[in-house]
A and B are shown apart, each in its own frame.
Chain A
Amino acid sequence: MASRLAVDIAIESLLENEVEEISRDGQEKYVPQLSMSEKLAKLAHKIDFLSDVKGHGEDADKEDEEKSLVTFQPSLWPWDSVRENLRKSLTEVCVLSDVLNVMHDKKYMVLDPVSQNQATPKPTLSLITKKKSLTNAADILLRGAQRMEDAVKERADQNTRQGSSVKDFHSELMMLRKRWRLKRTGTAIMGDLTYRSAGSQFRNPGLFEVTKATRDEERAAEQSTSDNRALEVTVGSDLEGTAEIRVAIVQSGEDLEIATVRGLMSGCYDNMPTVIPSWQQKLESAQSNLFCKELFVQLSQGAYNTKENRPHFVMANEIRAEIFPGTDLCITYSCRKNNSEESSSKMTHRDKAPRAHSLEYALHSLLRKQHYQAQTLLTPHPVTAYPTQGGNKRLCLAGPSAMTAAEVAPYLQSDGLLETVLNISRHKVLQRRAVEVVDTLKARLTDPCITCHWSSIGCDTTTLATVHITSPEVGHLARSSFQLHVGVRGIHVVNADGDTVDISTHAQDLEDFILSQVCNHRLSVAHSLAQSLGWHVIHCSRHVGTGPKERQGHVGGLMVKSPNGSKAVAVRTGPTSGVSILVRRPQVPCGVAPELLGSMNWGSLGGDFIEVHWSKMPGRTFVQKLFLLLAIEMY
């Protein structure tokens, strides 16, 4: 029967937790159940301790007490046991404080330590122990005094032997500490040579060790000339000697210009040997060697990461990069261990090419700038923004101001060390070419006077020059000027009338340009000369379509007619062919009787143009010759 009636009864705990919220899918979220400690805290929060104290205060009032007793029915209140315990402890504390008060007054009761039966003191034993410890202390003091005496004696000895300039190890160490970063590891004292604290990220230990100098007699005698120091420094073997980075612009096997970054040479402190200790020089030279090392590593990394279409070569201690076709930049790293005289003389012999100071300066400053940028942290604005490490401020604005990729691109690419060095050397080469071209033209062309002003203001990668072409005889009549902006990848020319021309890096292009300018100048001189003499200009063009073609450039032509209209002079001037002048004189038709012709206008029919033997014309310059010709042919 019972089995038939078996019904599953689910026993579920009562919903003790409060429902905090019911989410949209119907799931109920409960307020989490309180832990034991939280429950306790909650209950303890309910106790009104003050009411109890109040009850005490109004003890006299019987009725009130009765009332409070009524309210604190033990059966009604579950925390009664806690209250009872607290009251008990209060009573005990009160009693304790009463006892202490009584004690404090020392009126009714005095406490004395209870003496237990002590061991009787043995005077002889204590005397012996005292004596023993005194002798120990005396020993220590005596030993210390002996050591101090020794030290004083030793120092006095040294002073008498080597003069008063010698300092002891510790004061020397203090001096060293003022100049270099030192660290004590175990018994050794190590120093730091790296530029790490200045922002360098070059991985080289760059350590030096500081040791006390050993003063052997023979060594002292040997070193008697150099200043004797109580301190010696040892640098790593890779930082010894003199490192050098030699940057040369090589064109067809020979150096055009060179720049070198050297570790400190010995003897650069010759003028102040007393102030600078010997170790300082050694450490500084080691540090500059480290600088050279880092510079070379950075340059070769730049050479690896280049995106140019012709890759740069990196071979052991040499980087070769092409700056222009046929012109290379060659960077070599070398380290000389012994600073012997002959090797240095050999070096100077080798470095005959002029020094490129701006390149040299750039090599020094670029790496330092890189260090500085790595170290400086710009404060982001606002401070919660992502910090940009030495970054471009424009880049921060790129996102918020919705710049396009094309707008951002120029800020993203930053030239590396090698790229900057390459640009500077490109500029150097280009500048050199421009100077050569202008100088040779100046020497070759004496007729129109070419003057060139190289601006003293410029930067590593830009130079400005202004070229004037003038004819001194008619300086006021014609003068053409143009400005050259010698850049990195080409020369930008601005004419006096504002026209601009971009010229490639080839020297021939610049030469052609200047020649065509000379040609234009002649044309305009001839034009204004003819006009001032009263000739009529029939035609003037910079580009004449007739006649033989020039190898390069255009022939300019001018045709003028004499004031009475009977004669004509044609001037042709080309950049390579030079000047040719033709004259047409009136020619009476031959074979016809003059009386038949009647009017003289027949004469203006003209004859053939006859070329003037220009070189045989008297006069030195184009202007003088043309003036003479025009004056003769006027009537």
Chain B
Amino acid sequence: MIGKKMAVVGRQNQLEYFLQGSVGKESVNTLLHRLRGLCDGASRQFATFVDHEILFTLGSPGSSVSLRGRHSLDDPKAPWQLRYVGQSEMGDKSRSTLLRSCVEVSTSDNLTTFLKELGFRYESEYVLKGYYFVKGHMRITVSQVCRVGSINDPQSSQPISDSYLVEISLMTTVQQDSMAEEIKAFAEHLKPLVHLEKIDHRKLQTT
């Protein structure tokens, strides 16, 4: 059934503090230059990435589990990644970022087959194309969300819109709200270009 062994290396019980925002195409270059100045490794060139993410669900609507299979299109030899991303919590005003639980694991490239054998259904897929920055433990991505033309053909992706998704995230194993402050402070530096705010995902889904 499955040729290779499925071996896993992963980190469990992770918490991800994150902030999201968006920036228009016309000012993305300015943002990239600013990020290059602010982030680590200023001397190096922009690090780009193209990732393909497929969403799988198990169970009936209402009580379902969703898992995300993600792999890089830039580097086909790199391992795939299976992610579970929890509901993002708004929290109260004292916490300045969103918080969600996150379980990640690296897998071999036959992940899709494995999930389908388990009974997961293909839900949707998309491609993220953009730039990647690191500042300390923070990970900053500026990327365009692309719609995939036909199923399982990530090469045929087209950008959904002209705007770029900006995301600052920080992974930790223990809940430390001081990290949220760190993210907030960094987001302040990008202020006139992009406003990174807490966005209530539940509201987005209901409307």
Contacts and interface: CB of A to CB of B under 8 A. Distances in A.
Contact of B132 (A383, A386, A401): A383
B80 interface: yes
A278 interface: no
Interface residues of B, number: 36
Most chain A CB within a 10 A radius of its CB, from B11, B74, B106: B106
Nearest to B76: A381
Contact of B79 (A375, A377, A400): A400
Given A381-B72, A384-B81, A400 B108 contact: yes
Interface in A362-396: 375-377, 379, 381-387, 396
B70 A384 contact: yes
Contacts of B108: 400-402
B203 interface: no
Contacts of A381: 49, 51, 71-72, 74-75, 78
Contacts of A377: 40-41, 44, 47, 134
Contact of A379 (B4, B11, B49, B70): B49
Contacts of B8: 399-400
A397 interface: yes
Contact of A383 (B4, B43, B107, B139): B139
A384 B104 contact: yes
Using C-beta atoms within 8 Å of the partner chain, give the interface range for chain A: 10 to 19
A383 B79 contact: no
Interface in B25-64: 40-41, 43-44, 47-49, 51, 53
Nearest to B70: A382
A400 B107 contact: yes
A37 to B, nearest CB: 14
Contacts of A400: 7-9, 79-80, 106-108
A376 B134 CA distance: 11
B147 to A, nearest CB: 18
B100 interface: no
B93 to A, nearest CB: 14
A625 B4 CA distance: 69
A399 B79 CA distance: 9
A402 B5 contact: yes
A90 interface: no
Contacts of A401: 4, 7, 79, 108
B112 interface: no
Given A401-B4, A402-B4, A402-B5, A385 B104 contact: yes
A570 B5 CA distance: 66
B41 A375 contact: yes
A382 to B, nearest CB: 4
Contacts, number: 78
Nearest to A400: B79
Contact of A386 (B11, B44, B48, B53): B11
B47 A379 contact: yes
Contact of A382 (B11, B44, B47, B72): B72
Contacts of A387: 134, 139
Interface string A417-459: 0000000000000000000000000000000000000000000
A349 to B, nearest CB: 43
A401 B78 CA distance: 10
Nearest to B78: A381
A103 interface: no
Nearest to A398: B9
Contacts of A386: 11, 104
B9 to A, nearest CB: 3
Contacts of A397: 77-79
A382 B51 contact: yes
A37 B141 CA distance: 37
Interface of chain A, main secondary structure: loop
B71 A382 contact: yes
Given A379-B132, A402-B4, A402-B7, A396 B74 contact: no
Contacts of B83: 384
A135 B71 CA distance: 76
B128 to A, nearest CB: 8
A339 to B, nearest CB: 34
Contact of B106 (A375, A376, A399): A399
A517 B48 CA distance: 59
Contacts of A396: 78-79, 106
A394 to B, nearest CB: 10
Contacts of B48: 379
Given A375-B41, A377-B134, A401-B108, A382 B78 contact: yes
Nearest to B72: A381
Contacts of A383: 49, 51, 72, 128, 132, 139, 141
Nearest to A375: B41
Contacts of B132: 379, 383
Contacts of B78: 381-382, 385, 396-397
A31 to B, nearest CB: 14
A399 B9 CA distance: 5
A375 B75 CA distance: 22
A565 B78 CA distance: 75
A396 to B, nearest CB: 6
Contacts of A402: 4-7, 108
Nearest to B46: A379
A384 B71 CA distance: 9
A490 to B, nearest CB: 35
Nearest to B5: A402
A383 B127 CA distance: 12
A384 B104 CA distance: 9
A401 B9 CA distance: 10
Residue picked from A375, A385, A399, A400, most chain B C-beta under 10 Å: A400
Given A381-B49, A385-B106, A401-B7, A376 B44 contact: yes
11 contacts: A381-B49, A381-B78, A382-B51, A383-B72, A385-B104, A386-B104, A400-B9, A400-B107, A401-B108, A402-B4, A402-B6
Interface of B: 4-9, 11, 40-41, 43-44, 47-49, 51, 53, 70-72, 74-75, 77-81, 83, 104, 106-108, 128, 132, 134, 139, 141
Give the 7 A-B residue pairs with the shortest CB-CB distance, closest first: A399-B9, A381-B72, A381-B78, A402-B7, A400-B79, A379-B47, A382-B51
Given A381-B72, A383-B132, 12 more contacts: A379-B47, A382-B70, A383-B72, A383-B139, A385-B78, A385-B106, A396-B106, A397-B77, A400-B8, A400-B108, A402-B5, A402-B108
